[in-house]
Amino acid sequence: MFRTARRSKARLVLAAALAAGMAWTLQAVTATTAQSQVANVAASATPSASYTSSWETVSAINDGIDPPQSNDTQNPRWGTWPEEGTQWAQLSWDEPVTVASSDMYFFDDTGDGGPGGVRVPASWSIEYLSGGSWQPVSGGGYGTATDQYNSVSFGEVTTTALRAVLQSGQGSVGVLEWKVYGEGDNGEPSGWNPPSHLVQPLEEVWAHTEDTYGGGQGPLAFHNYGWDQIMDTGGKVNYCVRWDSQNSVDASTRDAIEAKLQEQYDLWFDQMAGWDGFPFDRIEVEVVGWAAYDRDLLQWQDDSVDVYIGDIREDAPQCAEDCGRFFHQDGNYPDCPGGYDHHYDQSLWLTQGMGGGAGGDWGQRMGQEYFVDSLGASQVTIYLHEVGHTFGLDDFYDWTPTGQCCFIMNAGSSSTITEFDEWMLRDWWRHLKSRYGL
């Protein structure tokens, strides 16, 4: 619900959230897994072609420029005029890539008043280099529409080169931009290459973030995002559970909560592994402490977690401030009993009877019953939304980005993390990573 962008404001914002009564609720949780995302790897390829008109350039096909229209008179183009028949454009990589889909934007100068000699092909297909020979990819649906990308999905191939083979129709052929989606052989797509339909809305989101959290360095001035925390810890998040409830909780539920937190973190961060310099294969989540009103509410006797009783802050139990990241943003905990391993980066604050939620650098808050009742669900919607805030993602109370209606950070519109949510997370990493020397 509310994010707390700066430490000095955090408690005020939280108080406001409490006063507002956490008025919104979310739809029922449904079982869907997040899809992994890949990038346009064409940017790292070397282009070549069967023939290129002397006034055109083959490097146009992967220069990253989205054409305004098929008759593009502004940007570099690849065309074969006056050659006709079978022509091809090729992308070659130094290291193998694994690819399974493509977006093709054809050059067609119909109505140009000029030569008028370049038209969409009569037909075309994609081939990949395999053992020194060209093989067709499986799949089909090779569109030839003008003024848009023609998308093709095909059976995944790992190769060092792809060819688009074009059979000319009413003229010579040409391509303005060819995107190919996949991963490098190390599973590390490089560069910033979101799917074309997400480029504009992602730009809008970042611009809006800068406007909203403007001044000085804007959102980059804050230094306690979840990103800062995991970079300090080496890819781990320690939790304190604030059991703000008079209900009792047993050891199996305690352990199920920790497992659920790990599972939900994975839903956000599986896509980040190896992406754009992100250094962690997985964010490890561990619950190190529990805070409660009364020891009897915690129905276990083992000492697997630290227990804090009767330390009441913000009218709720809290683990020791000496161990909390919110209170020690330098990442040092000299007075934490038990030392560094007992510190907590975030709190999972579970409040009896609460609807909705709140999230920020301090952690996430939602209903105690809601979270426990969600332990059997694959996606804990409110929690996932609030974790988004912990990593900088904003709310969308009064606007939506172009073409995007439904995603988990637009509260109430999606019960699951979507492709757009994933790219917003990646965009935060893209903007922040330089502060870590990456």
Number of C-beta neighbours around residue 306 at 10 A: 19
Q: Which is nearer to Zn ion, 179 or 389 (CB)?
A: 389
Distance separating alpha carbons of residues 159 and 161, to the nearest angstrom: 6
CB of 263 to Zn ion, least distance (A): 21
Of the candidate spans 69-77, 220-228, 300-308, 395-403, the one that interacts with Zn ion by CB under 5 A turns out to be 395-403
Q: Which is nearer to Zn ion, 38 or 267 (CB)?
A: 267
CB of 395 to Zn ion, least distance (A): 4
Q: Which is nearer to Zn ion, 325 or 385 (CB)?
A: 385
Distance separating alpha carbons of residues 346 and 255, to the nearest angstrom: 17
Query: Are 306 and 239 contacting, i.e. CB atoms less than 8 angstroms apart?
Result: no
Distance separating alpha carbons of residues 133 and 11, to the nearest angstrom: 64
**What residues have CB less than 8 Å from 110, skipping those under 6 apart?**
70, 71, 116, 119, 146
- Nearest Cα residue to 268 out of 234, 233, 230, 232: 230
Helices (DSSP H) in 337-418: which residue ranges? 368-373, 381-390
Q: Which is nearer to Zn ion, 101 or 364 (CB)?
A: 364
Binding mask 338-377 for Zn ion (x = CB under 5 A): ----------------------------------------
CB of 24 to Zn ion, least distance (A): 9
3-state secondary structure of 309: strand
- Nearest Cα residue to 195 out of 205, 206, 184, 182: 182
Strands 39-40 and 174-184, by their bridges, are antiparallel
Of the candidate spans 1-9, 133-141, 372-380, 397-405, the one that interacts with Zn ion by CB under 5 A turns out to be 1-9
**Size, binding site for Zn ion by CB under 5 A:** 2
CB of 358 to Zn ion, least distance (A): 8
Q: Which is nearer to Zn ion, 117 or 226 (CB)?
A: 226
Of the candidate spans 6-14, 104-112, 186-194, 391-399, the one that interacts with Zn ion by CB under 5 A turns out to be 391-399
Q: Which amino acid is at 294?
A: D
Q: Which is nearer to Zn ion, 1 or 157 (CB)?
A: 1
CB of 393 to Zn ion, least distance (A): 8
Q: Which is nearer to Zn ion, 127 or 386 (CB)?
A: 386
Q: Which is nearer to Zn ion, 1 or 240 (CB)?
A: 1
Q: Is the dihedral of CA 358, 253, 264, 236 positive or negative?
A: positive
Task: Determine, following the binding rule CB under 5 A, whether residue 412 of this chain makes contact with Zn ion.
Answer: no
CB of 91 to Zn ion, least distance (A): 41
Residue with tokens 């905990």: 333
Distance separating alpha carbons of residues 356 and 335, to the nearest angstrom: 34
Q: Which is nearer to Zn ion, 188 or 395 (CB)?
A: 395
CB of 17 to Zn ion, least distance (A): 9
Sole binder of Zn ion in the list 210, 284, 286, 395 (CB under 5 A)? 395
Of the candidate spans 45-53, 366-374, 387-395, 422-430, the one that interacts with Zn ion by CB under 5 A turns out to be 387-395
Distance separating alpha carbons of residues 42 and 162, to the nearest angstrom: 10
3-state secondary structure string across 43-103: HHCEEEECCCCCCCCHHHHHCCCCCCCCCCCCCCCEECCCCCCEEEEEEEEEEEEEEEEEE
3-state secondary structure of 108: coil
CB of 14 to Zn ion, least distance (A): 13
Distance of CA 352 to the CA centre of its chain: 31
Task: Determine, following the binding rule CB under 5 A, whether residue 1 of this chain makes contact with Zn ion.
Answer: yes
Distance separating alpha carbons of residues 176 and 60, to the nearest angstrom: 6
Q: Which is nearer to Zn ion, 60 or 387 (CB)?
A: 387
Of 61-100, binders to Zn ion (CB under 5 A) are none
Q: Which amino acid is at 255?
A: D
Of the candidate spans 169-177, 298-306, 333-341, 393-401, the one that interacts with Zn ion by CB under 5 A turns out to be 393-401
CB of 370 to Zn ion, least distance (A): 15
Of the candidate spans 281-289, 296-304, 370-378, 390-398, the one that interacts with Zn ion by CB under 5 A turns out to be 390-398
Q: Which is nearer to Zn ion, 230 or 409 (CB)?
A: 409
Of the candidate spans 154-162, 203-211, 389-397, 399-407, the one that interacts with Zn ion by CB under 5 A turns out to be 389-397
Q: Which is nearer to Zn ion, 1 or 291 (CB)?
A: 1
Strands 306-309 and 284-292, by their bridges, are parallel
CB of 380 to Zn ion, least distance (A): 14
Looking from the CA of 433 toward its CB, the CA atoms found within 13 Å total: 16
CB of 427 to Zn ion, least distance (A): 17
Task: Determine, following the binding rule CB under 5 A, whether residue 164 of this chain makes contact with Zn ion.
Answer: no
CB of 386 to Zn ion, least distance (A): 7
Helices (DSSP H) in 192-284: which residue ranges? 196-212, 226-233, 251-269
Distance of CA 80 to the CA centre of its chain: 39
Task: Catalog residues that contact Zn ion under the rule CB under 5 A.
Answer: 1, 395
